[in-house]
Amino acid sequence: MSRFHTGIAALGTSLLLLAITPSSPAQALGLHIRIGGGPIGVVRSIASMALGGLGGLRGRRGARVRMARAEAANSASRMDITRGPDWVTRPVARVQVAAMAALAGWHGQRGTKGWWQHGDGGYGWVGPLFWPFAYYDIYDYTLWGDGMGFWGYGYRDIYAAIFTPYDGDELLRYASPSRGRKFRHFPSLTRICGADASELAGLPVEQVKQAMGPSTEEQRAALDDLVSASIEAAQTIQSACLTEVGLTPSDRLAEMQRRLEAMKSVIARVQKPFETFYDLLDDDQKGKLAAFANQRTPFAPKVPAEQSCTPPGTLPWPKSEIEAKLHLNEWQRDELDVVQRMIGFATDTLNLNCQPDETLSPPARLATADARLDVMLNAIKLVRPALDDFFATLNEEQKAQFETIGAKRTS
C-alpha cells in the first residue's frame, strides 16, 4: 500500500465538495517563424502572417477565430492586427502567435492542428512552456470579460503534460534552438513568456486610461499604484516562465503547478490596488469601461464555456492501453487505479467549475480567476502524487513504453 492510499477518501471528499461549491464572486501554422528582440520584435517577425495566419485554425473550434479575423480586417481597414506595440493586448493576436509557436517544432504533419489545441484555437503547451501570455489572459478576463485565453485551460493541459505531444528532442530544442535547418527559426520561449515585462506590463492600464476618460487626481494616484503593482506582477510571472525542460510527466505537472502559483501571486499583488482604483470610478466611467470592452469584440471573440472547457469524454484516460503495453502486475494495476480515480476527480472538478459568469464586475472577475486557479492547482496536486507513486513501481522499460501511450502525436 503506497503512501498515497492513506487518506484517499478524505481527499476525494474534499475535492468533490470543492466541485459543487460555487466560486466566490468571486484564449500554427508553418515551420518558419522567427521571434526575437522581445514581444515588440514579434511584430516585425510575423507581420507578413497577420490576419491570414489564422486561416490554419481548422474546424468548428477555429470558426470563431476565423470570423474574428474577418471582422478585424473590416473594422481595422485590413490593418495587421499585430502592428503596433500594443498587439499583445489583443487576444486573437496572442492565439495566432501561440498556435504558430506550438506547432512550429512539433512533428505532426504540416498544416494540421494539434490534438492538445484549446477550444478557442490556442494552445496551453508550447513545447515545454505552459500557458504563454498568462499575464495578459488574466488582465483581459478581469478588465473586459474576454475569457478567450483564460477559461480554455484545464484537463486537456493536464493530459498534455502526462502524455506530451512532443518528444524529448523537440522539448530540448524549444529551450535551446539548434542551428540546424529545421529548428533555426524556432521562436524564443523567453520572449513569448514576457522577457520585456517592465516595458509591456502597463499596456492593459493604458487601455483603462483610454476607456475611462477624464480622471480625478485621486483616481490618477490609484492608477499609478496599479501600474506599479502590474509591473511587479509581470516580472513575477516572467520569472516563472521556464527554468528547466520537463522530460517526465511529473516534471511537467510540477512546471504547471509552479506557473499557476506564480499566476496566483500576480492576482494577490494587483487585487487590492485594482479594487481600490475601481471603487473610485463613478458610474459613467464604469459604463465607459464596459462600452470599451464591447468595442474590442473583433479582436476578442466570445467563446462559449462549453467550447472553452473540456467536454466530458474528451481525451479519455487510456487505462486499457497502459495495462496492455506495460504488462502490469497486480500491485501496479492497483496504483494505476488510484491515478485513474484522481484523474476522474480532477476532470469533474475542472469541468464543474468552468462556468464563466458574464454579469460579474471586473473586481469580481479577478476574484473568480483566482478561484479558478485554485481549482486547477488542486487538480494537479491530486494527480501528481498518485502518478509519482505509480511511476515508482515501473521499471525503465515500462517507463519507456508509457511515453508511447495517449493521443496520437500526429492526430
Average pLDDT value for residue range 242-258: 89
pLDDT reading at 85 higher than 50: yes
pLDDT at 387: 97
Question: At 97, is the pLDDT very low, low, confident or very high (cuts 50, 70, 90)?
Answer: confident
Identify the residue whose cell numbers are 493536464. Answer: 158
Question: At 25, is the pLDDT very low, low, confident or very high (cuts 50, 70, 90)?
Answer: very low
Question: pLDDT tens-digit profile of 296-317?
Answer: 655 555 555 555 566 655 788 8
Question: At 332, is the pLDDT very low, low, confident or very high (cuts 50, 70, 90)?
Answer: very high
pLDDT at 185: 56
pLDDT-above-90 percentage for the chain: 34
pTM of the model: 0.77
Question: At 357, is the pLDDT very low, low, confident or very high (cuts 50, 70, 90)?
Answer: confident
Average pLDDT value for residue range 354-363: 82
More confident residue, 23 or 326: 326
pLDDT reading at 27 higher than 50: no
Identify the residue whose cell numbers are 454579469. Answer: 359
pLDDT at 74: 37
pLDDT at 234: 84
Distance CA(403)–CA(411), nearest Å, equals 16
Question: Out of 108-122, 265-279, 348-362, 368-382, which region has the weakest mean confidence (pLDDT)?
Answer: 108-122
Question: At 197, is the pLDDT very low, low, confident or very high (cuts 50, 70, 90)?
Answer: low
Question: At 110, is the pLDDT very low, low, confident or very high (cuts 50, 70, 90)?
Answer: low
Average pLDDT value for residue range 208-236: 87
Distance CA(238)–CA(273), nearest Å, equals 21
pLDDT reading at 100 higher than 80: yes
Average pLDDT value for residue range 182-205: 64
pLDDT at 187: 57
CB 300, CB 144: distance < 8 Å: yes
The mean pLDDT value of the chain amounts to: 74
3-class SS letters over 355-398: CCCCCCCHHHHHHHHHHHHHHHHHHHHHHHHHHHHHHHCCCHHH
The residue extents of the domains of the chain are 27-309
pLDDT at 151: 86
Question: Out of 33-37, 128-132, 363-367, which region has the weakest mean confidence (pLDDT)?
Answer: 33-37
Beta-bridge mates of residue 6: none
